[in-house]
Amino acid sequence: MFGFLKKIFGGVEKAAVEKKSVPQNKKQSAPEKKNNNKSEKVKKSSAPKKKNRKPQEKKSVIPEIPKIEKPAELIEVPAAEGKKRFGDYDLSRDILLALQCIKFEYCTQIQELTLQHLLDGKDLAGKAQTGTGKTAAFLIAAFNHLLKNPLENQSNGTPRCLILAPTRELAMQIHKDAQNIGMFTGLRSVVVFGGMDHAKQRFELDDKVDILIGTPGRIIDYSNTHSLHLSKVEILVIDEADRMLDMGFIPDVRRIVVRLPHKEKRQTMFFSATLDNHILSLASDWLKDPIMLESEPDKLVGELIKQSFYTVAGSEKLAVLLYIINNYKYERMLIFGNRKDVNLRLERDLAKYGVKIMLLSGDVPQEKRIRILEKFRSGEGRILLATDVAARGIHVDDVSLVVNYDLPERPDDYVHRIGRTGRAGKEGEAISFICEYGAYNLDPIEKLLNTRFPSTLPPEEMLVLPPRAEKKR
């Protein structure tokens, strides 16, 4: 027992001696450690990334389009029966060169109907569905006017053309089209909208702005703080006015319009998918002697969209969707589901079979939403799964296939969904699944479109699930 205690206390004593010796050893080794720290500090500071890093205060929140080299000459577009060429109009050479680069050769119906009137400076109210080419029509006219009427002294934050859109996604798409059409003009287009950093977007107004695109709320914000001055606007464009009305933006639009030059001193372009009495009343308030035009009247669904319906059980929908993904040819596919939780489960189920998709729901933050749409637009991601709320305002060309995984409860949403394909003169296809629950939603859609849709049973090969993807270790 005594030996055991001696061993313990002896060990403690020995430890105490060693502990007392630590400061001495530490003191002796301090210079070496100091030198080592100094050398490490020098080594770290020599890294070029940290030494040369500079703050970027005015970084744009919107991705820029890739720069394209300006062509040396215009290529003659051959004449085609029943088609109007952009080269047939008195357009600036810089605009024609840009249209050549983006392969715009012949006018769509709405462009042929409206373009000459807009180039002549007339006010116009046009009825046109999304995807008919109206955006290019009013942008070409706006750029052409600004180029032919240059200003020597233009104040910062004072746009010459103002374009109002009901959603931020539509505003972003118009801005992208403006960057393409105006790529050789030297004119600057800017887009502002809610849901993004207020200060970052305001920085865009600290310079010359030729064309400003935005949602009404954000335009009012910057105008109230005097970051934006609307007294010199020469052209006003109100796009998708019917949706402005539905979404309650008309009071905001009125507040914006009263800050602009009088309608006698500006050109106003007004586009809407409908021209009912409410819309016509707004047009008469804001336009002077407008020309009224309609493109493809009374057609809710374009003729270029092939519609088909499969009768399936809820348990078979995944297999049929996987067959379509793996066997159909498509540029981009847009899948619609009615509920966020169902879409999340579908995303996980598809991943088990090696299919990666992008998911868009109403609660996705705006910056992430922009990144998702940019990937989809660029083709980096070819399949997008969305709900109706999230899909409002998606304007992406080359969506060749729309799949209604769930048939929508509102018939108007069906028209909106399949209208994402068959755009700008291109053919598209829409496939809808009719399960035991979705069958109740088909009749209202048929009544709205005044047609009966035949539904078919999918062949056996479409009902067989493929092998699951191997899990990565």
Q: What is the pLDDT of residue 253?
A: 96
Residues shown for the chain: 473
Q: Which amino acid type is present at position 415?
A: V
Instruction: Report the alpha-carbon distance of residue 191 to residue 279 in Å, rounded.
Output: 25
For residue 24, pLDDT over 70 is answered with: no
Task: List the alpha helices (DSSP H) in 423-469.
Answer: 439-449
Residue 287's contacts (CB-CB under 8 Å, 6 or more residues apart) are 123, 124, 125, 263, 268, 270
Q: What is the pLDDT of residue 344?
A: 93
User: Measured in Å, how far apart are the chain's first and last C-alpha atoms?
Assistant: 56
Candidates 384, 325, 316; CA nearest to 354 is: 325
Q: Are 273 and 130 in contact (CB under 8 A)?
A: yes
Residue 346's contacts (CB-CB under 8 Å, 6 or more residues apart) are 318, 321, 335, 337, 385, 405
Instruction: Report the alpha-carbon distance of residue 339 to residue 213 in Å, rounded.
Output: 32
Q: What is the pLDDT of residue 421?
A: 87
Which residue would you say has higher pLDDT here, 77 or 45? Answer: 77
Hey, where are the domains in the chain?
Answer: 86-294, 305-463
CATH 3.40.50.300 fits 305-463, yes or no: yes
Percent of the chain past pLDDT 70, that is, above it, reads 82
Q: Give CATH for domain 86-294.
A: 3.40.50.300
Three-state SS string across 39-96, please? HHHHHHHCCHHHHCCCCCCCCCCCCCCCCCCCCCCCCCCCCCCCCCEHHHCCCCHHHH
Instruction: Report the alpha-carbon distance of residue 28 to residue 34 in Å, rounded.
Output: 11
Q: Are 311 and 454 in contact (CB under 8 A)?
A: no
* Residue-averaged pLDDT of the chain: 84
Query: Mutual orientation of helices 317-327 and 340-352 as an angle, nearest 10°?
Result: 60
pLDDT tens string 360-386 = 887 777 778 888 888 888 888 999 999
The order of strands in the sheet holding 124-127 is: 189-192, 211-214, 161-164, 235-238, 267-272, 124-127, 291-294
Going by pLDDT thresholds of 50, 70 and 90, the confidence category of residue 66 is low
Q: Which residue has the tokens 């009912």?
A: 276
pTM (two decimals)? 0.68
Q: Are 291 and 122 in contact (CB under 8 A)?
A: yes
Q: Which amino acid type is present at position 91?
A: L
For residue 202, pLDDT over 60 is answered with: yes
Instruction: Report the alpha-carbon distance of residue 101 to residue 211 in Å, rounded.
Output: 21
Q: What is the pLDDT of residue 71?
A: 92
Q: Are 87 and 76 in contact (CB under 8 A)?
A: yes
The answer to whether domain 86-294 and domain 305-463 are alike in fold is yes
Q: What is the pLDDT of residue 68?
A: 84
CA distances from 284 to 42, 125, 152, 208 (A): 72, 9, 34, 32
Min mean pLDDT across 179-183, 340-344, 409-413, 423-427 is at: 423-427
